[in-house]
Amino acid sequence: MIWVFVYGTLLVGEMNHQVAEPYVMKVEGGKVRGRLVDYGPYPALVPTVEDEWVRGEWLLVTEPGLEQMDMLEEYYGPEGCNDYERVWIRDAERQEREGWVYIWTDARGCSPIPGGCWRTYLRNKKA
């Protein structure tokens, strides 16, 4: 089993959660250091050393689940030509929770998502 932090379309109830859902053993809320940016139909997490936080969920998935998420995120391995990179991260509030997260290394031209929460941002965007 592997923990993966998700913050956008892979969240429970969002449009790409069905990719991970068959492989999810457990879901927990979480928060990690980073900046969330708007890339149109989905967000991207950008690493930062500043006190910025992204809210999301930790999914405990099987190995095939991680493989399915890798395909969705176009992650082909450490030497691959990746859309997103997969890096190890630790939860900001529970140091014992750590796992993988997909990050974007180039957010030029993308607007920051205030508050670091995709769901809140979507609700406000629709209103």
Q: Catalytic residue among 21, 73, 93, 98, which?
A: 73
Q: Count how many residues are written for the chain.
A: 127
Cα distances from 36 to residues 6, 22, 81, 101, 105, in angstroms, run 12, 26, 22, 13, 12
Edge-first strand listing for the sheet containing 43-46: 43-46, 35-38, 111-112
DSSP code of residue 78: T
Whose CA is closest to 8, among 121, 127, 124, 125? 121
For the CA atoms of the chain, what is the radius of gyration?
Answer: 14
Active site (annotated) includes residue 73? yes
Residues that are catalytic = 73
